[in-house]
Amino acid sequence: MSVVGRRFRDGEIFVPEVLVAARAMKAGMEHLEPRLAECGVEPAGKVVIGTVKGDIHDIGKNLVIMMLRGSGFQVIDLGINVPAQKFVAAIQEYQPDIVGMSALLTTTMAQMKVNIDALRQAGALEKVKVMVGGAPVTRQYAEQIGAHGFAPNASAAVDRALELVRERKTMQAGAL
Amino acid sequence: MTGRERMDVAMRMGIPDRVPVMCQLALGHYFLHAGIDPLEIWHSTAAFGDALITLQQRYGFDGILINLPGREPEWRKYVASVEEQDGETVIRWKNGWYTVAPPDDLPHVYRENGTRYTPTFEEIDPEKLFYIDPHDLSGLKYPYSWGFENNPVPRGRDFFPEWHWDTLKYVLERVGDEVSVHAEVFSPFSQFMELLDYTSGLMALMDDPAKVKACLEALSDGAIELGRGYARQGAHAILVSSAFAGGGFISRQHYKEFVLPYERKVIQGIKAEVDIPIYTHTCGAIGDRLDLMEETGTNGIDTLDPPPLGNVEIVDAKRQVRDGMFIKGNLDGVNTLLLGTPEDVMQAARERIEAAAAGGGYILSTACSVPPAAPPENILTLREAVESYGRYPIAAARGR
């Protein structure tokens, strides 16, 4: 999937091709995952992800999930229309490295800030890195609302997620 | 010139007295700013017509896009109850379905089991398709039926109920002499994507292209019939809405295969009966396919999202299309209209006018629709911009 991601990023292939590749990867992973678990292979990182409250669009989020899984991440998909409390609860339950939030609409991207504020209030923001994305979301907006990471497309999301996992591990090592 | 005359001249590549201004407003913008109950705007022909006219007049736009069809006058007889829940309105219908209506965005219809219905690609029979209206009051159904009657509608001229034209008629009666009134038709590709969930729709292009093409062929017939119907009722222009045909979704090759032939068929089919301007709205990254869009026979391109939302610089677009198509758009609806200041809007509008308006064929507009929460003072600035910088004659920008 890293080849698929690179070709998608470079505009050589588009969403239908990525979806078909991801379907093939998923079929393959069903056979491989038990073997990888037996061998003690660690995931590249753990991500909890969802489309924010009020937004029922999932294609962007699903593309990011496919790319992340293809790059060895463990991904917990919270689905669509996810309220802030559910993100907070998922952090407590799964202890991820990253929380990903997606929004397609200008009306719902404001919910990302609501979620980040809720994570801060619950004391969860120090434990995870927050990544945001979606059609109307820009790097500037991501910085403005206090997100740690932003990616303009699903392929770039993998690169940024790998960086955030490294940053988080460095932070944790420094805190010890 | 009236707004109607000004728009007509610009859409036919002539030079009006000044650059026309007309934005498509997100339906949520009407809900928040028209001063009319959002539930009424969504469900009632007259309320939506009044909302369209109110904001056109407030913002000084030269045109109105009718982006919801007329509604069944007796829609209330299907309502069981209306309640408020967590800041949203929930309409419970007598058949057990319910609509969740946020205050600032499109309502969605759920079945009694709490899911939104979409058929699978496998169960679709192309021969049962004609037109898919994603904004029908009862959501999507397959085979298609209107409202809550659940009687599948046969293909053909009687597919669209008489009340379907009512919003257009309502607006034309009130402002049609002064304002350019446009009606919206969904492209075959958009209808197909709306019918299935987007993931299934996009994978179908790879899995069974022949069946997809049969579906698109059938959906073209309905789009032609709808466009002709609007034209017969007096629409001044038709917008072909084709949101999924940009580079954010499909390749240029897939555009050639699954979009171009069917949009061309729709445009030719409508124009065979009434020669009114027809233009195309495609979101996101379309910079690599403006030539293909022109091959559809469209008279103009709406949107032209600039970076970072899309990839179109207005100077390049104007150079590419020359006098072949009019351009409407290119203002960043999110970063300029929603998040910017009136000064930002004025600067961005002035840049577009200076880059694209010389020689005519340019309509000042946001690329995609104006977001629901865009501050009204930002939108009002667009009219100020065309009054200040959009009076013809306008000199061509250097380098063109």
Give the mean pLDDT of chain A: 93
CATH number at residue A124: 3.40.50.280
Whether residue B101 lies inside any domain: the answer is: no
Contact A138 B308 (CB under 8 A): yes
Average pLDDT for B343-368 = 96
Whether residue B262 lies inside any domain: the answer is: yes
Distance from CA of A106 to the nearest CA of B (A): 6
How many CB pairs (< 8 A) connect A and B?
67
Residue B24 in tokens: 């498509």
Whether residue A31 lies inside any domain: the answer is: no
> Which of chain A's residues have a Cβ under 8 Å away from the Cβ of B248?
15, 135
For residue B399, pLDDT beyond 70: no
- In this prediction, residue A2 carries a pLDDT of 85
Contact A107 B373 (CB under 8 A): yes
Whether residue A170 lies inside any domain: the answer is: yes
Whether residue A10 lies inside any domain: the answer is: no
Distance from CA of A21 to the nearest CA of B (A): 10
- In this prediction, residue A170 carries a pLDDT of 87
Binning pLDDT at 50, 70 and 90, where does residue A176 land? low
Average pLDDT for B250-274 = 97
Q: Which of A25-39, A101-115, B40-54, B296-310 has the lowest mean pLDDT?
A: A25-39
Average pLDDT for B118-138 = 96
Contact A106 B373 (CB under 8 A): yes
Whether residue B80 lies inside any domain: the answer is: no
Residue B334: closest CA among B393, B284, B265, B394 = B284
> Which of chain A's residues have a Cβ under 8 Å away from the Cβ of B116?
56
- In this prediction, residue A114 carries a pLDDT of 95
Are the beta carbons of B309 and B332 closer than 8 angstroms? yes
> Which of chain A's residues have a Cβ under 8 Å away from the Cβ of B105?
54, 105, 107-108
SS3 A131: strand
For residue B400, pLDDT beyond 80: no
Chain A touched by B203 (CB under 8 Å): yes
Average pLDDT for B291-303 = 97
For residue A153, pLDDT beyond 80: yes
Phi, psi values for residue B95, rounded to 5°: -85, 5
User: What is the domain range of residue B356?
Assistant: 3-72+155-389
Whether residue B309 lies inside any domain: the answer is: yes
Closest CB to B199: pick one of A19, A108, A141: A19
Chain B touched by A106 (CB under 8 Å): yes
Whether residue A81 lies inside any domain: the answer is: yes
Chain A touched by B340 (CB under 8 Å): no
Q: Which of A21-30, A81-90, B1-10 has the lowest mean pLDDT?
A: A21-30
Average pLDDT for B162-178 = 98
Whether residue A38 lies inside any domain: the answer is: no
For residue B397, pLDDT beyond 80: no
Find which of A12, A14, A102 to mutate to test the B interface (most B CBs within 10 Å of its CB).
A14
For residue A94, pLDDT beyond 60: yes
For residue B377, pLDDT beyond 80: yes
Closest CB to A19: pick one of B202, B334, B373: B202
Residue B384 in tokens: 């100020």
Per the DSSP assignment, residues forming a β-bridge with B31 are none
Average pLDDT for A76-88 = 96
For residue A6, pLDDT beyond 60: yes
Find which of B30, B117, B206, B305 to mutate to test the A interface (most A CBs within 10 Å of its CB).
B206
Whether residue B92 lies inside any domain: the answer is: no
- In this prediction, residue B149 carries a pLDDT of 83
The residues near B275 (Cβ < 8 Å, ≥ 6 apart) are none
Chain B touched by A40 (CB under 8 Å): no
pLDDT more than 90, % of chain B: 94
Find which of B197, B198, B286, B337 to mutate to test the A interface (most A CBs within 10 Å of its CB).
B198
CB neighbour class for A17 (10 Å; exposed up to 12, middle 13-18, buried from 19): buried
Binning pLDDT at 50, 70 and 90, where does residue A175 land? confident
User: What is the domain range of residue A107?
Assistant: 43-175
Whether residue A3 lies inside any domain: the answer is: no
Average pLDDT for B92-100 = 97
Closest CB to A54: pick one of B105, B203, B248: B105
| Count of domains for chain B | 1
> Which of chain A's residues have a Cβ under 8 Å away from the Cβ of B334?
106, 136, 138
Query: How many CB atoms neighbour CB B241 within 10 A?
Result: 22
CATH number at residue B245: 3.20.20.210
Measured torsion, CA atoms of residues A155, B118, A25, A89, in degrees rounded to the nearest 10: 70
- In this prediction, residue B185 carries a pLDDT of 98
Rounded distance, CA B342 to CA B345, Å?
A: 5
Give the mean pLDDT of chain B: 95
Contact B308 A20 (CB under 8 A): no
Closest CB to A136: pick one of B105, B249, B334: B334
Rg of chain B taking only CA atoms, in angstroms: 20
- In this prediction, residue A173 carries a pLDDT of 83
For A86, the enclosing helix (H) or strand (E) is helix A84-94
Whether residue A150 lies inside any domain: the answer is: yes
Asked casually if ipTM beats, i.e. exceeds, 0.90, the reply is: yes
| Count of domains for chain A | 1
- In this prediction, residue A91 carries a pLDDT of 97
The residues near A78 (Cβ < 8 Å, ≥ 6 apart) are A48, A49, A50, A86, A87, A90
Rounded distance, CA B219 to CA A167, Å?
A: 51
Q: Helix B188-195 crosses helix B198-207 at what angle (to 10 degrees)?
A: 110
CA max distance for chain B: 63
Find which of B110, B256, B334, B337 to mutate to test the A interface (most A CBs within 10 Å of its CB).
B334
- In this prediction, residue B358 carries a pLDDT of 94
For residue B81, pLDDT beyond 60: yes
